[in-house]
Amino acid sequence: MLIKSAEDRVADIDALTQLLGRRDLTPTVRARIEQEIRAVRAGAKGEAEAAYEIDFYHRASTKWAVIHDLRLEHKGRVAQIDHLLISRSLDIWVCESKHFAEGVAVNDQGEFTAFYGGRAVGVPSPFEQNRKHIALLREVLHSDRVNLPKRLGIAIKPALESVVLVSKNARITRPRTKIDGLDRLIKTDQLRHLIEKTINEASAATTLLAVSKVVSQETMEDVARQLVRLHQPAQFNWTAKFGLAAAAAPAPVQMAHVQRAPAAAPSPAPAPPPAAAASTAPLPAMAVAPPLPPPAAAADPLVDPHEGRLSTSRLASARGLRSSKELLDRLVSAGLLAVTPEGGHVLTPAGQQAGGVFIAKSRFGPYFLWPRDLLSACVTLRAHEDGRRGPPAHRAAAPGCAHERGHAGGQAGCLPRHRHQPAAQAGG
């Protein structure tokens, strides 16, 4: 059964992408940020691939409890465990996942080399990393922070197994010299076979011991949930990590002040220009989120601002853009964002009116959220980049866009077709 899923890294990528927009970056710092983004993406991809293989066989099983992305703090030390599988005999498989998309090699001394862009790069041993995770996990399990089941008044001690998972498409080059434990370096799609093989090859004495330790499904689940309750999400201050001065904070739309727009009849369409009145009938206005109420008027402080909204990176991906920075630049051109002197971004009144939200405080740092349907009534952003016009049917569906109505009555949230044609502010 699945007890905990992996945490999303999208907000991390958003925060790092926003740092790339700063004007005070040196080439060295910019390169470090870009490398960090690649590392975060690669790590998330490797963990997601391993999680898929684990969940495929164990997510619905009543004999296993699955935990992804568990971060434990204990006596000043930290263990970031990628995956845990807990059986009813309290055998715990501690899995460290590595992407290593281009392959990994191990020499006769047990030293690891990974390959990136065709280059060989020495990397720390993932086995040593996992040994530290297991040591801290064992201390936590044997402390008073976890209540383990007992037999005859004696707590059952879980057996901890270590395994390192790499991408199923990676090439693994092993040394000629046999190294103990290296058979636990496997591809993600071999994990189930390794577990079954280990169980089948266990000695009779080991099997009897395992049977005597078997607990109920409920007890297994309880142990897993106790560990999840100890999870401490990581807190990243990316600005400080790269030695950057904190940018002046824009006036945020606090999470407690955000509420869903009430259902209401659409606003009447503004009158078309005289030249078009004789040949076309009035068209309905593009839907625009109503202005957000001031803080004092907030009705429900528990409303999640993420509901119905996407982060900048996800909206950029949905619109087919190459990066979040490209979308940020276009939002600035549309008047939904403004650039601060430090090179950061500020949500403008027009951006708030279009439904944008600035999350000032989170464990990922500050980032923006945008309505899922932002820009949906306009031509695609790729067409903006190329300077092409959308098909007539698409243009007719967006009468509120500045580029379709002679820059009169433009709606907030509609990006300009060309950078030299800014959309009018809401209410213009």
In this prediction, residue 267 carries a pLDDT of: 52
Q: What is the pLDDT of residue 251?
A: 45
Give the other-Cβ count within 10 Å of 121's Cβ.
10
pLDDT category at 303 given cuts 50, 70, 90 is low
What is the C-alpha separation between 77 and 72, in angstroms, rounded?
Answer: 8
pLDDT for residue 144 is more than 70: yes
Whether the Cβ atoms of residue 171 and residue 103 lie closer than 8 Å to each other: yes
Give Cβ neighbours of residue 13 (< 8 Å, ≥ 6 apart): 37, 40, 41, 313, 324
Q: What is the model's pLDDT at position 421? A: 36
Torsion, CA 55, CA 61, CA 64, CA 65, rounded to 10:
60
pLDDT at 376: 53
Q: What is the DSSP letter of 338?
A: E
Q: What is the mean pLDDT of residues 360-384?
A: 62
Residue with tokens 């202005």: 291
Q: What are phi and psi of 185, to 5 degrees?
A: -90, 105
Confidence tier at 375 by pLDDT (50, 70, 90) = low
Q: How many CA atoms lie within 13 A of 370 on its CB side?
A: 28
Using CA atoms of 231, 232, 233, 235 in order, give the dihedral in degrees to the nearest 10: -170
Yes or no: say if 158 and 219 are a contact pair by the CB < 8 Å rule.
Answer: no
pLDDT band at residue 386 under the 50/70/90 scheme: very low
- In the sheet with 159-166, reading across from the earlier edge strand, the strands are 2-4, 64-74, 77-87, 91-98, 159-166, 185-187
Give the pair of three-digit tokens for residue 390.
């959308």
Question: Pairing relation of β-strands 154-155 and 64-74?
Answer: unpaired
What is the chain's mean pLDDT, rounded?
A: 75
Q: What is the DSSP letter of 88?
A: T
User: Would you say the pTM of this structure is higher than 0.75?
Assistant: no
Q: What digits encode the pLDDT tens for the residues 166-180? A: 988 888 999 988 888
**pLDDT tens digits, one per residue of 19-56:** 888 888 888 988 899 888 888 888 788 788 888 889 99
pLDDT in tens, 241-257: 888 877 654 444 444 34
Measuring CA to CA, which residue among 309, 111, 87 is closest to residue 215?
A: 87
